[in-house]
Amino acid sequence: MRVLVTGATGFIGRHVAACLIAAGHEVLIGARDGRRAGRVFPDQRFVACDFTRDVKPEAWRSRLEGVEALVNCVGVLQPRRRATMEAVHETATAALFDACAAAGVRRVIHISALGVDTGIDLHYATSKLAADTYLQGLDLDWTILRPPLVYTPSGSYGGTSLLRAQAALPLFVPLPGRGDQPFQPVFMDDLTEGIRRLLEEGRGIGEIIPVTGPEPISFREILFRFRRWLGLGRAWPLPIPRPVMGLLARLGDLVGGGPLTTTSLRMIEQGNAAAPDHFTRVTGILPRRFDAVLAQHPAQVQDRWHARLYFLRPVLRTALGLFWVVGASVMLFGGGLDAGRALSGADPAAPAGFDLWQVPFGLALLSGLLLLFRIKARLVLACQVAVLAIALLWWMSSLVGLMLVIGWLLVWPNLMLFLGLALIFVATLMALALEDDR
Ligand SMILES: NC(=O)c1ccc[n+]([C@@H]2O[C@H](COP(=O)([O-])OP(=O)(O)OC[C@H]3O[C@@H](n4cnc5c(N)ncnc54)[C@H](OP(=O)(O)O)[C@@H]3O)[C@@H](O)[C@H]2O)c1
């Protein structure tokens, strides 16, 4: 079967696509980033789709040629702009469904989310519910799947990364309140196998199916089971009061989606559980228990690295951002350039005109601000690494020259500055390596 998987480079989408490819289907990789799509699925055909732009059915027409089924795995949890959520979850999704109806692509499987129909006042939920409702009104062979938290031991993203990182903190495991919110996380392989069967056997048509694990477990229990699985030592639960959690989530929103955001906090607080009977009846799959899945997939050292480094990433990014903002501001506005001029013997009484040094410090300030607000962070860090590498090489060569001429004792203060910059270079390299979501 030729299946278009939209959101195929996402956490769920890539597993769905991989499962269908393994089952022998021809999978078209619907994604917005062609390079990433090529990296993840080098042998599959890429279909470009941007849900913020493709908001008219005509935009989809040519992409649906020869397609027999659609699995839509596109979604956003907390975009910077409200309009993005509306376009991605509602307008473009509706346009895609309309285009399917027009092109005769009757089979549509849409990944929604458990709890969107509970009346929760969250744009994430209301916009996803709007798409579900729209699809139900079309003459298509649709199935809407509503999973809660989806996990797999072989990798994590978003919510599950946050949980593993919380579980891996030293000594204390922070919990929202008492951490007794019920969850029913579902194993990725159960979800993807379910999708395969729904597609191949034409089951579940016209049904909204919750796809959950076999039993509810508390949020706190999930964290401590992850901790045991990671093989980490004893830790104590640390209940975090609601106002503090709210503040952290707002901070997460401000710096661009993470690690905690107001949407993810509300979803955690709401809990996420439902019986898996419907899914089992339709697909014949008995969802596996959380404990059993973890036991079958022992944690690797990479899992511990990722969990431990997860919170270090925003800390490092923020520290570097602050370093450049404060450092460059002192130079530009705090008299740093004047002091430099005075040291170099320039006439302090001379009128201050445009100084060429303002350019690099202006750029340093801009790069710091971009890092703080997590805008093009990878690109900014890569540029900083390149500039710092050149500066260090140049400085090193002049230091070696100076040492040969006047001896290392006189060069010592300069050497300390050099080592300081080298440290910033290493921290920037680390931040660049960590700034990788998928
Ligand atoms: N993961 C869970 O535990 C869970 C639980 C319940 C429901 N869900 C739902 O399942 C769906 C997939 O979730 P996920 O965990 O796989 O999330 P994800 O990893 O963030 O994947 C979302 C996918 O949507 C794509 N996307 C976002 N904005 C787009 C745009 N403007 N144009 C084109 N593609 C866009 C992303 O593309 P890029 O790869 O380019 O970023 C990514 O492929 C979502 O609808 C989510 O609400 C997930």
Pocket lining: 257 vs ligand 1, CB cutoff 6 Å: no
Q: Is the pLDDT of residue 370 over 70?
A: yes
Q: Is the pLDDT of residue 142 over 70?
A: yes
Q: Which residue has the higher pLDDT, 409 or 302?
A: 302
Q: How far is the CA of 76 from the centre of ligand 1 (A)?
A: 5
pLDDT for res 413: 74
Q: Is the pLDDT of residue 202 over 60?
A: yes
Nearest CA to ligand 1 atom 20: 10
Going by C-beta distance under 8 Å and a sequence separation of 6 or more, which residues neighbour residue 354?
none
Q: Is the pLDDT of residue 385 over 70?
A: yes
What are 85's two structure tokens? 């959520």
Pocket lining: 158 vs ligand 1, CB cutoff 6 Å: yes
Q: Is the pLDDT of residue 107 over 60?
A: yes
Nearest CA to ligand 1 atom 1: 150
Ligand 1, residue 157: give the atom nearest the CA: 19
Pocket lining: 195 vs ligand 1, CB cutoff 6 Å: no
Q: How far is the CA of 361 from the centre of ligand 1 (A)?
A: 38
- Cβ atoms of 138 and 103 closer than 8 Å: no
Pocket lining: 274 vs ligand 1, CB cutoff 6 Å: no
- Cβ atoms of 280 and 286 closer than 8 Å: yes
Categorize the per-residue pLDDT at 291 as very low, low, confident or very high, splitting at 50, 70 and 90. very high
Q: How far is the CA of 10 from the centre of ligand 1 (A)?
A: 5
Ligand 1, residue 33: give the atom nearest the CA: 40
What average pLDDT does this structure show over 176-187?
Answer: 93
Q: Is the pLDDT of residue 348 over 60?
A: no
Mean pLDDT computed over every residue of the chain: 91
Q: Is the pLDDT of residue 256 over 70?
A: no
Q: How far is the CA of 344 from the centre of ligand 1 (A)?
A: 55
pLDDT for res 340: 64
Eight-state DSSP code of residue 52:
T
Q: What percent of the chain has pLDDT above 90? A: 74
- Distance separating alpha carbons of residues 74 and 92, to the nearest angstrom: 10
What average pLDDT does this structure show over 294-322?
Answer: 95
- Distance separating alpha carbons of residues 99 and 105, to the nearest angstrom: 8
Categorize the per-residue pLDDT at 342 as very low, low, confident or very high, splitting at 50, 70 and 90. low
181: phi > 0 → left, psi -120 to 50 → alpha, else beta; which? beta
Per-residue CA distances from 114 to 110, 214, 227 (Å): 13, 15, 25
Ligand 1, residue 84: give the atom nearest the CA: 31
Pocket lining: 414 vs ligand 1, CB cutoff 6 Å: no
Ligand 1, residue 89: give the atom nearest the CA: 45
- Cβ atoms of 278 and 210 closer than 8 Å: yes
Q: How far is the CA of 322 from the centre of ligand 1 (A)?
A: 31
pLDDT for res 416: 85
- Cβ atoms of 358 and 332 closer than 8 Å: yes
- Distance separating alpha carbons of residues 402 and 404, to the nearest angstrom: 5
The 10s digit of each residue's pLDDT in 7-42 is: 999 999 999 999 999 999 999 999 999 999 999 999
**Best mutation site among 5, 11, 126, 162 for ligand 1, i.e. most ligand atoms within 8 A of its Cβ?**
11
Pocket lining: 10 vs ligand 1, CB cutoff 6 Å: yes
Categorize the per-residue pLDDT at 355 as very low, low, confident or very high, splitting at 50, 70 and 90. confident
Pocket lining: 141 vs ligand 1, CB cutoff 6 Å: no
The 10s digit of each residue's pLDDT in 205-242 is: 999 999 999 999 999 999 999 999 999 999 999 999 98
pLDDT for res 410: 64
pTM over 0.85: yes
- Cβ atoms of 69 and 4 closer than 8 Å: yes
Categorize the per-residue pLDDT at 398 as very low, low, confident or very high, splitting at 50, 70 and 90. confident
Pocket lining: 5 vs ligand 1, CB cutoff 6 Å: no
The 10s digit of each residue's pLDDT in 186-201 is: 999 999 999 999 999 9
Q: How far is the CA of 204 from the centre of ligand 1 (A)?
A: 22
pLDDT for res 401: 78
pLDDT for res 182: 92
Pocket lining: 165 vs ligand 1, CB cutoff 6 Å: no
Fold of 2-309: Rossmann fold (3.40.50)
Q: Is the pLDDT of residue 100 over 70?
A: yes
Task: Specify the domain boundaries for CATH 3.40.50.720 within the chain.
Answer: 2-309
Q: Is the pLDDT of residue 427 over 80?
A: yes
Read out DSSP for 173-215? EEEETT---EE--EEHHHHHHHHHHHHHHT-STTEEEE---SS
Nearest CA to ligand 1 atom 8: 113
Pocket lining: 64 vs ligand 1, CB cutoff 6 Å: no
Measured over the CA atoms of residue 41, residue 46, residue 49 and residue 50, the dihedral's sign is positive
Pocket lining: 11 vs ligand 1, CB cutoff 6 Å: yes
pLDDT for res 84: 87
Pocket lining: 188 vs ligand 1, CB cutoff 6 Å: no
Nearest CA to ligand 1 atom 7: 113
Q: Is the pLDDT of residue 362 over 60?
A: yes
Ligand 1, residue 12: give the atom nearest the CA: 16
Nearest CA to ligand 1 atom 6: 113
Q: What angle do CA 284, 285, 289 make, to 5 degrees?
A: 150
